[in-house]
Amino acid sequence: MKVLVPGLSGRLGHMLAETLLERGHDVIGIDRRPFRDAPQGVEVHELDIRKRAAEDVFRRVRPDAVVHMATVTHLVQQSEDRYRINLGGTRAVFEHSKAYGVKHVVFVGRHTYYGAAPDAPLFHQEDEPPMGLSSFPELADLVAADLYAGSALWRYPEFTTTVLRFVYTLGTTGHGTLATFLRGSRVPTILGYDPLFQFMHEEDHVGALALTLEKRPRGVFNVAGPQPVPLSIVIKETGRTNVPLPEIVLNAALGRFGLPRLPPGALEHIKYPVTVDGAAFRAATAFRHHIDEGGAMRAYREAFPRPHA
Amino acid sequence: MGRVSPSRFDRCQATLADPMLPIHREVEERLDRLEVPFNDFGVDPYGISKKYIGVFMSALRPFYRTYFSCESYGLEHVPKRGRAMLIGNHSGGTALDGLMVIASCFFELDPPRIAQGMAEKFLNTLPFASQITSRLGHLTGLPEHAERLLSDERLLMVFPEGARGTAKLYKERYSLVNFGTGFMRLAMKMKTPIVPLAFLGGGEAIPTVMNAYRLGKLFGVPYIPITPWIVAFPLPAKLEVHFSEPMFFEGTGSEEDDLIQANVEKVKDRIAGLIELGRRRRKGEP
């Protein structure tokens, strides 16, 4: 099977490429970033998915399946550009897929779609609306991209669409929002709040993607691995130091003292949990995670030991 | 200003994020017999922490056993395993009733069980309250949470009088205010037995003469109870929890209001009967 992967040059993309090669697929990537040391059998086009040349790749390659990983999440990167990549890029992927006879399109989304709020339930199900936008408007493009991808289910009946909402990744690559948040030796938290965090190891993340290509489930699915864990335990088990600060102090300190500059809504994500119910995906694909929460935290700690100042 | 050494931060973390208060021997022994799926870090999928339960129960134990010498009756009616809903009355005196029912299920049942309450929504917005209620298993009162816990065969504790019930004044302590119907629809939909319970003595322990609603607003809570000695510190009144036989209600939970209301009245009558019996005994009547 020929699998085209926009966003292949990311760390998860590298792992996905290897997994797909092992299973005997051809892997074609489109990414603005270079793919260093591409293994044999992986063809990478260094270009923007929204550009004309990307369409040429679809036309020439005629992929059987597309895994769309080219969305940007960095909460810190606030720009018009991010909006355009996430929305324009997603639209281009679906339109080219229709035009060039792709049979299966997988959108790789995020569980933060549901948003964090004091009155939000634990373990969201796929039919719940996104509730976090009023407090965290910066999530709008990711939510819109997710909903747009979901609309392909009725817009393009000629191919199978799978929208996946993945929990955070935590493991050896250090990829992802949670892993970035934990990078320093001290991790700021909000005094009096200790939300559950749900994450899975990258190997399981990539395993779930490969399984999706194999089983082709149609619809929107949360993808979760092991049970969630309170943030304080994540910090402790990854060898970091928890620095609980009153909310007012943390708000004032953001962007100073080496702390990242975060939009105010991002703080909701360290006050309240976003957890999802992955039962529908497990039922559709028989997915089982292989690395539990302890294993994922250990893997991260070993790959990124506590930095010494 | 000198740099704060990591070790001081570590100690600070230990006290704030990791309660290190002593855990009573009896509590420790019961913790190990809880049938809650704790992971390697002592946390269950809902965030219930073995350590927090240990500290909390150790702090609650002297109040339950000695200060209020709380008596539990009819414990055989609480299922040992599987889903069930404890439906009780508020007897005034804020959350004392909930605390004693939780203690009763932990200290008297065999194996011990965690009665999971449904926390008022405002609690999750407050620092510490948010953290502590979630670590003790009292999730925000949402229908999604109740259904999920029941389908996971947990023991749910509901006071259908809601905040109207905790606001009862001393003179109203044996009365029942209007019951909500949500608990009945939930029990019917989730095919869950209801264990009605009566709680007595809360009004004597915290005799509320008035509720300060405006003052409460300042602190982000619905109201603050005012007692004759101003603060709501409880007197060592005798407390009692009476559990009664489980009640089953057939249906889907989406029936007409009349039918649901009739079922609710049956539960309310059972609780009113239990209260009346207990009240007579407290007065020394036969």
List the CATH number of the domain containing A262: 3.40.50.720
Contacts of A293 in chain B (CB under 8 A): 39, 41
| Facing A241 at nearest CB: one of B9, B18, B126 | B9
Dihedral angle sign, alpha carbons of residues A236, A240, A246, A247: negative
Range with lowest mean pLDDT among A186-195, A248-257, B143-152: A248-257
Closest CA to A119 of B123, B47, B182: B123
A2 exposure class (CB count in 10 Å sphere: 0-12, 13-18, 19+): middle
Substitution target in A199, A227, A270 with the highest count of B β-carbons within 10 Å is A227
Q: Which domain holds residue A139?
A: 2-303
Q: What are phi and psi of A107, to 5 degrees?
A: -100, 125
Note the Cα B200 to chain centre separation in Å: 14
CB contact under 8 Å between B47 and A244, yes or no, is no
Instruction: Please check the confidence at residue B9 and state whether its pLDDT lies above 60.
Output: no
Substitution target in B48, B51, B121, B140 with the highest count of A β-carbons within 10 Å is B140
Q: Which helix (H) or strand (E) holds A168?
A: strand A168-169
Q: Give CA–CA dist B183/B164, Å, rounded.
A: 16
Note the pLDDT tens digit of each residue in A92-137.
999 999 999 999 999 999 999 999 999 999 999 999 999 888 888 8
Task: List B residues 239-268 in contact with A (Cβ-Cβ < 8 A).
Answer: none
Residue A39 lies in a domain: yes
Dihedral angle sign, alpha carbons of residues B226, B228, B233, B236: negative
Substitution target in B4, B125, B132 with the highest count of A β-carbons within 10 Å is B125
Closest CA to B240 of B282, B178, B272: B282
Q: Give CA–CA dist A288/A224, Å, rounded.
A: 9
Q: How confident is the model over B123-150, as a mean pLDDT?
A: 95
Q: How confident is the model over B167-182, as a mean pLDDT?
A: 85
Q: Which fold has domain B20-283?
A: Glycerol-3-phosphate (1)-acyltransferase (3.40.1130)
CB contact under 8 Å between A247 and B127, yes or no, is yes
| Facing A233 at nearest CB: one of B43, B131, B139 | B43
Q: Give CA–CA dist B2/B68, Å, rounded.
A: 49
Residue A70 lies in a domain: yes
Q: Give CA–CA dist B93/B168, Å, rounded.
A: 8
CA of B46, closest CA in chain A: separation in Å?
8
Per-residue pLDDT, B233? 79
Instruction: Please check the confidence at residue A266 and state whether its pLDDT lies above 90.
Output: no
Note the pLDDT tens digit of each residue in B103-117.
999 999 999 999 999
CB contact under 8 Å between B131 and A246, yes or no, is no
Per-residue pLDDT, B16? 45
Q: How confident is the model over A19-48, as a mean pLDDT?
A: 92
Q: How confident is the model over A126-155, as a mean pLDDT?
A: 90
B40 part of contact set with chain A, CB < 8 Å: yes
* Two tokens, residue A155: 């817009």
Q: How confident is the model over B13-23, as a mean pLDDT?
A: 58
CA of A135, closest CA in chain B: separation in Å?
14
Q: Give CA–CA dist A24/A18, Å, rounded.
A: 10
Residues of chain A contacting B, Cβ within 8 Å: 118-119, 121-123, 185-186, 190-196, 227-230, 232-233, 236-237, 241-244, 246-247, 271-273, 292-294
Note the pLDDT tens digit of each residue in A204-246.
999 999 999 999 999 999 999 999 999 999 999 999 999 999 9
From residue B246, alpha-carbon distances to B87, B88, B114, B262, B277 in Å are 10, 13, 18, 17, 18
Residue A308 lies in a domain: no
Model confidence at A84, pLDDT cuts 50, 70, 90, reads confident
Q: Dihedral through CA A60, CA A66, CA A67, CA A70, nearest 10? A: 50
**DSSP type of residue A308:** P
From residue B160, alpha-carbon distances to A33, A120, B24, B164, B222 in Å are 58, 21, 33, 9, 17
Closest CA to B191 of B74, B115, B82, B109: B82
Residue A309 lies in a domain: no
Q: How confident is the model over B35-41, as a mean pLDDT?
A: 96
B37 close to B152: Cβ distance less than 8 angstroms: no
CA nearest to A241 within chain B: B10
A-B CB pairs within 8 A amount to: 91
CB contact under 8 Å between B9 and A247, yes or no, is no
Per-residue pLDDT, B93? 59
CA nearest to B142 within chain A: A121
Q: Dihedral through CA B210, CA B214, CA B220, CA B226, nearest 10? A: -20
From residue B196, alpha-carbon distances to B3, B121, B246 in Å are 57, 24, 7
CA nearest to B145 within chain A: A121
Contacts of A230 in chain B (CB under 8 A): 43, 47, 49, 135
A168 close to A276: Cβ distance less than 8 angstroms: no
From residue B111, alpha-carbon distances to B58, B74, B76, B101 in Å are 17, 16, 12, 15
From residue A8, alpha-carbon distances to A14, B162, B232, B278 in Å are 6, 53, 62, 70
B141 part of contact set with chain A, CB < 8 Å: no
Q: How many domains does chain A have?
A: 1
